[in-house]
Amino acid sequence: MRILCLHGVGSSASILENQLRQLINAVDPTYEFIFVDGFVPSERGPGIGIHVEGPFFSHTAGYSAEEMDTAMQNLAETLEELGPFNGVLGFSQGAALAVSYMHRQQQRGEMARFEFALLFSSVMPCSATPTCCEDIIQGLIACGRDVTDPELVKSPSLTGEERLFVQLLHRTIIPAKKQRQMLPDYDLAVYAGGDGVEAPRIMYPQLLRERIRIPTVHVTGKRDFHFMRAMSEVAYGLCDERMARKLEHSGGHEPPRNMAEVKAVTRALEWAVRQSGISHRGGWTM
């Protein structure tokens, strides 16, 4: 059982391996975890202690459609070089990249590269497809209002979908920027002016029809930032709820360390592995 492991922003393969040491020791020894560094050199990520040595990496240089497409191309190269893999494990930015990649794969009708996914504390998934939410973004640009203005969500000039998009920004991206948790950061003015090319195509489930149909396990910390938990809910919402499980642990923006909670994740992972066989027999393949 081979599982590709994708670290968080401003982190590294070795850091994630250390973060998951208890889980690795708790699962079946036949499971092989393959840790890879992101392609983009990065500054130290939020939450990475000053005693932790670099170098640090990220999976994307930014969150525009073009930058996300580059990140997915890099991931595809990794799959070709080191694969095949049975599953994917992602933490934070790594989890969001996995969700974005699997969603686009399925949307394109491509053969699934993963049979299951284990996702820890996913941040906001962004699409590599320029047309994703394009009408909404162009509508906001035409409005020309500062999206950080809390009064904007009450504006009668917005459509229902534009209002949903702005509300999501206020639950997730805007507070993340205020807490200096956005890396790489971007200027929200991309939603108020210009041509919209650089505006991240945030993947809000209420605005998208496609759902990821492989088994997924979503793990979040009860003490994580509220905006991070909201981002993880977005990632969960992009998955078919019939094939998805949610777990909470007592910590923050990190994989669980309490052994009882680690064992709960282990059981959920085993469930996903079993379901992956059932899903393929039952016609869930992409």
Q: Is 92 a catalytic residue?
A: yes
Considering only CA atoms, which of 6, 81, 2, 26 is closest in space to residue 256? 26
Which of 7, 59, 249, 253 is catalytic? The answer is: 253
Q: Is 240 a catalytic residue?
A: no
- Residue 69 contacts by C-beta under 8 Å, 6 or more apart in sequence? 128
- Residue 43 contacts by C-beta under 8 Å, 6 or more apart in sequence? 10, 56, 183
- Cα separation, 271 vs 54, in Å, equals 35
- Cα separation, 8 vs 132, in Å, equals 24
Which of 42, 64, 218, 224 is catalytic? The answer is: 224
Considering only CA atoms, which of 64, 119, 63 is closest in space to residue 92? 119
Cβ–Cβ < 8 Å for 255, 284 = no
| Helix (H), strand (E) at residue 97 | helix 93-107
Q: Is 253 a catalytic residue?
A: yes
> Which residue numbers are catalytic?
92, 224, 253
